[in-house]
Chain A
């Protein structure tokens, strides 16, 4: 009996894991390898594949559009980093016990729950040059209307602001949970020592919020690199590709221009950039696992 059991203990985990692992390998692991392999081929998506070595990459590094997209991704990453501090600010503002505060907190969270396509539509209205609320607002200050989404210099920032809206909501929730789990003894002790306000936040609260900050930063970076939905709904990368990001550029090249090999090369570059963060996240996660 005992023998049968230990045998069962050996092969049962394999059975438990099999369905998930098989699907995951077929739909995630294997496609990653295939994409990297494809990036060395010239392919229209249907016909023959021709091996071209590194020429997709060489072309890519010469492609003006690639650098625009990469630069925009960089802007996304830099400005998206406003989400954790603003989210923390709102969380601190809302971390009180007054009547109706639960409702307020959950309504602040709304932008994260709704689809990015809807967020994109909402902000397209907001920016509309002839009737948008944005231009009405700057009109109050005597400024000329700006067609944010058709202005090459502003368009990416306009989309990033739309993206920040749900991202801030996400960070806010992470911090609200963190604030809920603070150690009250430490805060009381610090208060007795005369710490308050900014000092308290910096030296007592923020260190305790570190896990929340870590997750907030990781999901924000990943969100910035993954940005696609908003670009696709608000501008389709326009005007003249000026708001494109790597994710959208790749989609455009493979689906509209029938350049699957070239698209795969773009995806591989994006994947390599993302790997830095994935590796960092894994390292942190596994380290805390061992501790």
Chain B
């Protein structure tokens, strides 16, 4: 283990390390903590310039109730779910099929196709912007959830296929061969042999791209314009303009927007990190 385990050091060193870790964490999250405290401030505090001290009264419930009742925040939150969940499902499903084909079948162009998926995943969004916007408009999907969902599925398929292909490559060929000898059809092999084995990868991938899609802002700006469809990232930035002076509400809104991915991350932490670093331990 590196650095040297702390248990092997002196007691004072140990104690100061244990304290330092929490101080460092506090400083690291200070901007975020400030926002959380601000989301519980009263209007009087904001007007009086009390931005960083302890709030004179805690308005936690009042502020959050106001965010949900006086603004379209609830709608935005719902929109984000309506867009994100199907997009995650679609991208994971398509890329599991594609990843399996790339991992376990030999055919001409296999490597080239794999390379295209990887490369596509890194391109700047702006090179896609105008044509994708036109395409979405011409299909009548501009300013609809479906328009965004379709794009997210297509784009995330690049990363997801890379991910699934690398996972499936590691599965033993013998299992598939044995099933083939038994006369099991290719589709059945995929469904009954491969799919159960890739379940951990599916979980990791889903958590990861949930946050990618949830946090998307650019495509929400480009493909959507009305409050009825707008996801929470674009929503909160629209609200910012309207409530310039009501920082406590913007703060509460920001916390609401940040919460779902944070909760998901905490609940599925192991999967999340496995997903994020799969490439880092290989490659």
Contacts and interface: CB of A to CB of B under 8 A. Distances in A.
B262 A35 contact: no
A116 B3 contact: no
A109 B262 CA distance: 10
B118 A247 contact: no
B100 to A, nearest CB: 6
A174 B280 contact: yes
A68 interface: no
A126 B34 contact: yes
Given A13-B101, A24-B157, A177 B273 contact: yes
A229 B219 CA distance: 11
Which of A19, A24, A254 has its CB near the most chain B CB atoms (within 10 A)?
A: A24
Which of B2, B129, B232, B265 has its CB near the most chain A CB atoms (within 10 A)?
A: B2
A24 B1 contact: no
Given A17-B113, A184-B1, A8 B215 contact: no
Contacts, number: 294
**Chain B contact residues, majority secondary structure:** helix
Interface stretch (A52-60, A141-149, A150-158, A281-289): A281-289
A64 interface: no
Number of chain B interface residues as a range: 35 or more
Interface of A: 1, 5, 8-10, 12-14, 16-17, 19-21, 23-24, 26-32, 34-36, 38, 45, 92-98, 101, 104, 106-111, 113-118, 121-123, 125-126, 130-131, 133, 136, 165, 170, 173-174, 177-179, 181-182, 184, 187, 196, 200-201, 204-205, 211-212, 214-216, 222, 225-226, 228-229, 232-233, 246-247, 250-251, 254-255, 260, 263-264, 266-268, 270-271, 274, 277-278, 281-282, 284-286, 288-289
In the A-B complex, the 5 residue pairs with the closest CB atoms:
A27-B154, A31-B131, A20-B98, A16-B101, A115-B215
5 contacts: A14-B101, A31-B131, A98-B6, A116-B215, A165-B31
